């Protein structure tokens, strides 16, 4: 796995010349189901991916589903720039005039043309897989799984000398995640029942990572030993063990509030790509009609994440706000169709998911804010998902 991630990180770096020191808030894993509804999931849960938002959300996995297994749960997202840039980069390095040149001059000029064409544009790609087993019992919910992925971004700018012309950022990771929730009722304190329908969740993740963050000069980009140079000189490796804790409390039959602290201890290298602990809060509404096949479930959620501003590159409120809605169009044994919409970092999202027995296909559109405040520098992204399980 480690060798595969290194190869992936280096090959994407060579092919796309990666990403940016932007103001984006890096995350370990983005569930396409959650992204489609604006990224709000702190007080909703209902899937194994609650481990990445609020482990108490495991309590909302429907009991009638029994043991849920996702053997493959692969997602990938890109923006348009990476498609165009990859082709232009390849054309520049494969140009016969460049390849047969007597010096580095032609190759340097060709690379400068590519850099100039994408001046100030963000280039993005990420892919991940979360294989999991989960179940909700009478009072206990649990999920365990293996997670892995890679995310890359790049941005070009006018650089001089050692300032560089292209900033690159990449994170490759793999590891394990697990957690459980427990439902409390009639919790007696000071001879009074003050807590009812209350859930607590605990989780742990062990993550091995490789990260890259560097501003490349033209001379570095055209090095013959570029991949070796990146691996030996710039790539950072390590491992992190982090813990998660969360709570959910039912205000009414269909409405609950949630609070979580995710990635306690932090993931990654603080001098490179780093995912800090965040404290998050949300409110959710869930309504199910068991005897309906059409429109039998609706979820509504509103979150505010990173309450303590652990992402210290900005203090923007809208970047930390998530809201969304999800509804089943139909839900049967053979197939389920779900539609989603939301507001993520001040921009609209939408998505859809189609289940055909053991196969699920999903799509989500969202805009990541790579500027210091919502609306400054939106990066449009498209996410696709393929899941195989039951």
pLDDT in tens, 111-142: 667 767 777 778 889 999 999 999 999 999 99
Q: What is the largest CA-CA distance in the chain?
A: 88
The tokens for 7 are 């190869």
Terminal CA-to-CA distance of the chain, rounded, Å? Answer: 26
Q: Comparing 24-38, 221-235, 349-363, which segment has the lowest mean pLDDT?
A: 221-235
Rounded CA-CA distance 184/198 in Å is: 5
Coil vs helix vs strand at 351: strand
Rounded CA-CA distance 156/168 in Å is: 9
| Of residues 206 and 102, more confidently modeled | 206
Residue 228 has pLDDT above 70, yes or no: yes
Contacts 24+ apart (CB under 8 A), 364-369: 364/32, 364/33, 364/35, 364/36, 364/340, 365/36, 366/35, 366/36, 366/39, 368/24, 368/124, 369/23, 369/24, 369/316, 369/319, 369/345
The whole-number pLDDT of residue 2 equals: 52
The whole-number pLDDT of residue 234 equals: 86
Average pLDDT value for residue range 195-210: 93
Contact call for residues 173 and 5 (beta carbons, < 8 A)? yes
The tokens for 376 are 């400054």
Average pLDDT value for residue range 24-51: 95
Contact call for residues 209 and 238 (beta carbons, < 8 A)? yes
Rounded CA-CA distance 285/44 in Å is: 7
Rounded CA-CA distance 59/50 in Å is: 9
Rounded CA-CA distance 343/353 in Å is: 18
The whole-number pLDDT of residue 7 equals: 46
Q: Comparing 135-139, 150-154, 203-207, 306-310, which segment has the lowest mean pLDDT?
A: 150-154
Highest averaged pLDDT of the listed ranges 78-92, 216-230, 360-374: 360-374
| Of residues 308 and 228, more confidently modeled | 308
The tokens for 344 are 């993520």
Rounded CA-CA distance 272/238 in Å is: 11
The whole-number pLDDT of residue 111 equals: 65
Phi, psi (degrees; rounded to nearest 5) at 67 = -80, 125
Contact call for residues 305 and 278 (beta carbons, < 8 A)? yes
**Confidence category of residue 5, pLDDT binned at 50, 70, 90:** very low
Question: What percent of the chain clears pLDDT 90, i.e. is strictly above it?
Answer: 57
Burial call 195-210: b when 16+ CB within 10 Å, e when fewer = eebbbbbbbebebbbb
Residue 9 has pLDDT above 60, yes or no: no
Average pLDDT value for residue range 86-110: 60
The whole-number pLDDT of residue 236 equals: 87
| Of residues 165 and 199, more confidently modeled | 199
CATH of domain 2-389: 2.40.160
Mean pLDDT, the chain, as a whole number?
A: 86
Which residues, including other chains, have CB under 8 Å from residue 334's CB and lie 6 or more apart? 356, 357
Contact call for residues 205 and 263 (beta carbons, < 8 A)? yes
The tokens for 16 are 């796309």
pLDDT per residue over 40-95, tens digit each? 999 999 999 999 999 999 999 988 888 999 999 999 998 877 777 767 766 766 65
Model's pTM, two decimal places? 0.84
The whole-number pLDDT of residue 203 equals: 98
Coil vs helix vs strand at 226: helix
The tokens for 374 are 């919502």
CB atoms within 10 A of CB 223: 14
């Amino acid at each position: 796995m480690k060798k595969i991630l290194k190869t992936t990180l280096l090959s994407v770096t060579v092919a796309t010349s990666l990403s940016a020191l932007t103001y984006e808030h890096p995350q370990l894993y983005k569930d396409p189901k959650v992204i489609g509804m604006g990224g709000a999931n702190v007080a909703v849960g209902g899937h194994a991916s609650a481990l990445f938002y609020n482990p108490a959300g495991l309590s909302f996995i429907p009991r009638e589903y029994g043991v849920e297994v996702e053997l493959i749960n692969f997602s990938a997202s890109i923006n348009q720039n990476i498609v165009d840039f990859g082709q232009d980069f390849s054309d520049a390095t494969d140009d016969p005039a460049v390849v047969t040149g007597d010096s580095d001059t032609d190759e340097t000029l060709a690379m400068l043309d590519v850099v100039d064409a994408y001046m100030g544009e963000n280039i993005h790609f990420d892919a991940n897989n979360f294989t999991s087993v989960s179940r909700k019992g009478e009072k206990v919910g649990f999920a365990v799984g293996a997670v892995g992925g890679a995310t890359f971004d790049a941005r070009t700018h006018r650089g001089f000398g050692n300032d560089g012309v292209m900033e690159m950022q990449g994170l490759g990771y793999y590891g394990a995640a697990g957690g459980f929730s427990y439902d409390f009722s009639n919790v007696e304190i000071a001879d009074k029942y003050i807590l009812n329908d209350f859930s607590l969740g605990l989780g742990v993740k062990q993550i091995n990572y490789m990260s890259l963050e560097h501003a490349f000069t033209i001379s570095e980009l055209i090095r013959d030993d570029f991949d070796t140079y990146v691996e030996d000189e710039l790539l950072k490796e390590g491992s992190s063990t982090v813990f998660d804790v969360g709570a959910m409390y039912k205000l009414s039959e269909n409405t609950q509030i949630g609070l979580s602290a995710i990635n306690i201890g932090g993931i990654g290298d603080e001098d490179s790509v780093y995912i800090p602990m965040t404290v998050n809060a949300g409110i959710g509404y869930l309504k199910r009609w068991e005897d309906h096949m059409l429109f039998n479930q609706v979820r509504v959620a509103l979150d505010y994440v990173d309450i303590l501003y652990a992402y210290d590159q900005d203090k923007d409120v809208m970047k930390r706000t998530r809201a969304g809605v999800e509804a089943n169009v139909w839900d049967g044994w053979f197939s389920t169709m779900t539609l989603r919409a939301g507001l993520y970092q001040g921009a609209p999202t939408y998505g859809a998911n189609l289940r055909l027995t053991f196969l699920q296909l999903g799509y989500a559109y969202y805009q990541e804010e790579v500027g210091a405040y919502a609306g400054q520098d939106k990066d449009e992204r498209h996410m696709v998902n393929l899941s195989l399980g039951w």
